[in-house]
Amino acid sequence: MSELGRYQPLGYFQLMEVSLRELLVEKGVLTEEAIAATVEDIRSRTPARGARVVARAWTDPAFLQRLLENGTRACEELGLDVPALRLVVVENTPAVHNVIVCTLCSCYPRMLLGIPPDWYKSRNYRSRTVREPRAVLAEFGLRLPDGVQVRVHDSTADMRYLVLPMRPAGTEGWSEQRLAAIVTRDCMIGVALPRAA
Amino acid sequence: MVEASFKPGDRVRVRKAYPLGHVRTPCYIRGRSGVIERLCGTFGNPEELAQQRSGEPKQPLYRVRFLQREVWPDYRGREGDVVEVEIFQHWLEPA
């Protein structure tokens, strides 16, 4: 059933991308090397970046404080540049669970999590997360007790959000690197919790 | 640059307006009341930027916290659940 190797005509947007790219190169606005380097740069940004930030916050209370006060500046300390946009880090506690959505389009902390998953951009996730967040989280396998407040962050303008999950029990004494390995993309969007497994 | 006229804790209402163009105020929150959570800073007005204009004067941008029960009267989650939305000052009025 694989489509691999089968000839597929270009879709509308693919054709537009190729046409625009070729025109920009032909007119000397961009070079093929510059485009390839940019694509490579985008691909190099993965959720491992965000996980480093979370692991540092779990192990360094002073960093945690700075991260909550000014997410952008705290990331710069780790050598992670968060260009132009401001990063707001929202902290999960035993009483509050945070989850991120962009109802208008697909705003996402790409500098820390890379390219968003397709479901994040889906109409289903975008419309239902503000309307019935507990039902959406349950579909991700995350059932929150009634005692926990759900705080949805609709990323509508110039801020970008990152959820700081709670450090799970059973990780006492772990190194930052080991901690970072259990911090997944979904934990930092707020649709999952890290596990010490 | 427009001066910030609200501070954290102030009660505000989102204007119920439906202008054409590129607006970053979601429809579901228009006409709803909430509380200023923080001032995020001052940013170019997206409605102007989208028209290839300067975005000046820059507008204060707030995060406003709304009770889900007030946004969706039939909300089924817990009573204290909230949604926070970034809203530019020119979309807010005192409540």
Question: What is the mean pLDDT of the segment spanning A131-156?
Answer: 96
pTM of the full predicted structure?
0.91
Contact call for residues A165 and A151 (beta carbons, < 8 A): no
Q: Residue A154: which of B26, B43, B76 has the nearest Cβ?
A: B26
pLDDT tens profile A79-94: 988 765 689 999 999 9
Mean pLDDT for chain B overall: 95
Nearest-neighbour CA in chain B from A78: distance (Å): 23
Question: What is the mean pLDDT of the segment spanning A57-69?
Answer: 96
CATH of domain B11-94: 2.30.30.50
| Catalytic residue (one of A19, A44, A75, A107) | A107
Sequence-distant (6+) residues with CB within 8 A of A57 are: A63, A64, A67, A89, A164
Query: By CA distance, what is B79's nearest residue in A?
Result: A149
pLDDT tens profile B38-64: 999 999 999 999 999 999 999 999 999
Does residue B18 have a pLDDT over 80?
Answer: yes
The fraction of chain A above a pLDDT of 70, given in percent, is 97
User: Complex ipTM above 0.85?
Assistant: yes
Whole-angstrom Cα distance, residue B85 to residue A179? Answer: 31
User: Which residues, numbered 145 to 174 in chain A, qualify as contacts with chain B under a Cβ-Cβ cut-off of 8 Å?
Assistant: 146, 148-159
pLDDT tens profile A8-40: 888 999 999 999 999 999 999 999 999 999 999
